[in-house]
Structure 1
Amino acid sequence: MRAAPSLTEDTAVVSAGLEYLPDFLSPEEEAELIACIDAGEWLADLSRRVQHYGYKYDYSNRRLDESARIGPVVATVSLGSAVSMDFCCDETGDEHVHRLEPRSLVLLYGDARWKWRHGIAKRRTDTVHGQKIARHRRISITFRTIAGPSQHRPAA
């Protein structure tokens, strides 16, 4: 059994509530997940292909279907290509780019979840340390907790 991966130090830029765990999965686990996902049916009603397990997420309104609300934790596992995730704090205007490597896990909760917007820009390359790096196929497995009555977004 592998040792638990450690957090990277640059996560402090965004704030409390961003945890990044590189090499969360082994290359063999990644390949197995990609094969299982590829065997499923892809929906093509967006500009990217998606599969939903459980509640359907409304990307335009950033919420789940009417019967559920997103809870306090979002977890994303990256498969395939690396990608840069952009963060922006509405309160301060601060911006941060965090590189998500293949087989990594990112957890968002607390300030990182509620005070920082996050997203992956639609483009063919990322600039990393001044160098353009081509993007390739990436699969994101995103887990969103479902909020109970006491877990809704904290008051500002």
Structure 2
Amino acid sequence: MGLPKFSRPKGGCEELSCNLYVANCGPAVGLSLDCIASAFGSYGAVKGVYPADESGCRVIVSYCDESSAQLAFEALNQKPCHDLGGRFLHIRYSVERPQCQVKGTDSVQVSLEASELNIPGIYLIHDFVSVQEEEQLLAAVDARPWHNLAKRRVQHYGYEFCYDIRNVNTQQQLGELPSFVACILDKIPLFRKLHEAADVLLDQLTVNEYPRGVGLSPHIDTHSAFEDSIYSLSLSGPCIMEFRASVDDRDTNNSSYSSNFVRKAIYLPPRSMILLSGEGRYAWQHYIPHHKVDMVNDNMIRRSSRRVSFTFRKVRKGSCRCDYPQFCDSQKVKQETGSS
């Protein structure tokens, strides 16, 4: 089930309920949900504390009974809360909206490790680069020209990725990968213990800059464009990466349904590197939800003002012959033309 949804009662702030809308309160102003629950717990049993919106500075405190909510309202509204550092709180009553039980609207549990996803071919290494290396990498790309897309900026190295055809022109090489990514390429062999893809010689890099709240639409990287292994390094800010595949032929452990898809998600902290290979690369769509705040299980994590990703790939020079023909543009062409 997803988080409960709340709204103002029709009768205004005088209409009692078990739930309080609390402004000037939340992770964005330095208050954790656990800390808020503890402070409001002085007035009665707190059922839960939830983000009221994506701002990170307004929450819903839900009590088990109306009398506790009334006590907290009278004690804290427009007054300093000593348990929250003397912060002045602005409180209104709120009511829970009934959730429509529509298949596919529930949220998905967020994994912290790739092994929890149970998707073959997906691996994650935390702290792949150091804080100092992160700063140097960001400074290096910021010293170079960016290309503006509709909602984000990009840089291409090795080969340019053409978004209109979702492929690369193998006849137009931009040059070698820049020297400033040597600290990344030198560490790729760390994946050898996890997957043989670490031996692939990478020759294409796309740098993406995502402003806060901007994500990436669901897609599978074109099979004929790139080889098996795709590496993506997250810098500057965190995000959630989700994966989805057809419900009919996918494992449904640790996942949620969305229409005809099964969904899984993983949290990508800054400086982590994720590898997509095998089934996870060829058969699962991956994307980044367009959120300003991500719920990582019971924790609300606010995205930073920017997130920069370094995505490394190996350009494919021939047709793809993977084991997933239903998702493969190379093999679909052969089927349509009757080629063997």
Q: Which TM-score band (shorter chain)?
A: 0.7 to 0.9
Aligned position for 1:3: none
Q: Deviations over 1:14-62 (max 9, x none)?
A: 421001000110111111101101101011133101111122223465x
Q: Aligned-pair distance for 1:124?
A: 1.3
Indicate the residue corresponding to 2:299 in structure 1: 131
Counterpart AA for 1:143: F
1:133 & 1:9 partners in 2: Cα distance? 17
| Residue 132 of structure 1: how far off its partner (Å) | 2.7
Which of 146, 163, 168 matches 1:65? 168
Tell me whether 1:113 sits opposite 2:253 in the alignment.
Answer: no
| Residues 86/58 of structure 1: CA separation in 2 closer, same or farther (3 Å cut) | farther
Alpha carbons 1:14, 1:96 under 8 Å: kept: no
Partner of 2:129: 25
Farther-moved stretch of structure 1 (12-21 vs 94-103): 12-21
The within-5 A match list for 1:1-156 is 9-59=113-163, 61=165, 63-67=166-170, 69-90=225-246, 91-92=249-250, 93-136=261-304, 137-149=306-318, 151-154=320-323, 155-156=325-326
> Deviations along 1:89-148, whole A, 9 cap, x unmatched?
234332111011111110000010011110112221111123332111110000121113
The answer for the alignment partner of 1:4 in structure 2 is: none
Kindly provide the CA deviation profile for residues 58-95 of structure 1, in whole angstroms up to 9, marking residues without a partner as x: 3465x323437221111001101111001112343321
Q: Distance in 1 between matches of 2:262 and 2:316?
A: 28
- The gaps in structure 1 that reach 5 residues or longer are 1-7
Distance in 2 (alpha carbons) for counterparts of 1:14 and 1:145: 25
Separation in 1 of the partners of 2:164 and 2:300? 29
Under a length normalisation based on structure 2, what TM-score does the superposition of the two structures give? Answer: 0.40
* Inter-partner Cα distance in structure 2 for 1:97 and 1:60: 27
Q: Give 4+ residue runs of structure 1 displaced > 3 Å after superposition.
A: 58-61, 150-154
C-alpha distance in 2 between matches for 1:79 and 1:9: 18
Q: TM-score, normalized by length of structure 1?
A: 0.83
Larger RCO: Structure 1 or Structure 2 (Cα < 8 Å, ≥ 6 residues apart)? 1
For structure 1, which segment, 51-60 or 119-128, has the greater mean C-alpha deviation from structure 2 after superposition?
Answer: 51-60
Provide closer, same or farther for how the CA distance between residues 10 and 142 of structure 1 changes in structure 2, counting only shifts above 3 A: closer
How far is 1:12 from its partner?
A: 4.6
Distance 1:101 1:39, change over 3 A: same
Q: In the aligned structure 2, how far is the partner of 1:120 from the partner of 1:14?
A: 19
Give the 3 Å change call, closer, same or farther, for CA 16–42 of structure 1 in structure 2: same
User: Which structure: larger Rg?
Assistant: 2
Q: Which amino acid aligns with 1:122?
A: H
Once residues 120 and 152 of structure 1 are traced to their aligned partners in structure 2, the CA distance between those partners, rounded to angstroms, is 28
Change (3 A) 1:115 1:82: same
How has the CA–CA distance of structure 1 residues 59 and 132 changed in structure 2, closer, same or farther, with 3 Å as cutoff? farther
SS of residue in 2 equivalent to 1:34: helix
CA contact (8 A) 1:55 1:64 kept: no
d(CA) in 2 for partners of 1:140, 1:152: 28
- State the secondary structure of the residue aligned to 2:314: strand
Distance 2:155 2:307 in 1: 14
